[in-house]
Structure 1
Amino acid sequence: MTWNRETVHEELLKVFRQHKQTEIEVSETSHIVADLGIDSLGVMEVLADLEDTFKLTIPDEALREINTIGDVATAVLTRLEGDGRLQG
């Protein structure tokens, strides 16, 4: 499947809404742990969902740089672009 930036962002927000543990609205600037209350096990579940959704692997070293949903978007977009599966 080929993705564009808008569909990637929509899908990311959908996945994070399913996993959030607080009533805070999910946005690009939401901090995964502090705002959404997702613990380390939850982060691994989110990661598995994202890898299944986008058919990619996010390496463990990339997780060190991820704090917000925007950071996740950057990591996913970079990998999709590298695989030639990102339009626009």
Structure 2
Amino acid sequence: MMWTRNKVNADLIEVLKGHAQVDVEITDSSHLVGDLSIDSLGVMEVLADLEDKFKLTIPDSMLGEVETVGDVAKAITSRLEKDGRLEA
């Protein structure tokens, strides 16, 4: 399946809605822990859901590199682009 950046962002937000506090606005600048109140276990669950959704493997080492929704989107699109599954 080919992905677009817009589709990645939309699907990412849908996944995060299932883990974030109810009625929290999710934007690119939202912090996973601070704004969405996703704890460390929740972050691991989010990553598992994202791996399933986008059919990719996210290394645990990436956890230290992502703080915001935008960081997660960038990591996913970068990986999809590397795999040849992101439309220009």
TM-score range, shorter chain: over 0.9
CA contact (8 A) 1:22 1:35 kept: no
Unaligned runs of 5+ in 2: none
1:48 aligns with 2:48: yes
Q: CA deviation at 1:21?
A: 2.2
Question: Following the alignment from structure 1 to structure 2, what is the Cα–Cα distance between the partners of residues 2 and 28?
Answer: 22
Instruction: Determine the structure 2 residue equivalent to 1:73.
Output: 73
**2:62 — aligned with what?**
62
- 8 A Cα contact 1:32 1:68, kept in partner: yes
Alignment-derived partner of residue 2 in structure 2: 2
Q: Which residue of 1 aligns with 2:28?
A: 28
Q: CA deviation at 1:23?
A: 3.2
Deviation at 1:18, TM superposition (A): 1.0
Structure 1 position 60, deviation (Å): 1.1
Name stretches of at least 5 consecutive residues in structure 1 with no aligned partner.
none
Amino acid at match of 2:14: K
Does 1:38 find its partner at 2:38?
A: yes
Code of the residue aligned with 1:58 in structure 2: it is I
Q: How many residues align?
A: 88
Query: How far does the alpha carbon of each residue in 1:12-70 deviate from its partner, in whole angstroms, 9 at most, with x for none?
Result: 01111111025321111100000000001110110000000000011111111100000
Identity %: 58
Task: Give distance in 2, aligned partners of 1:22 and 1:13.
Answer: 13
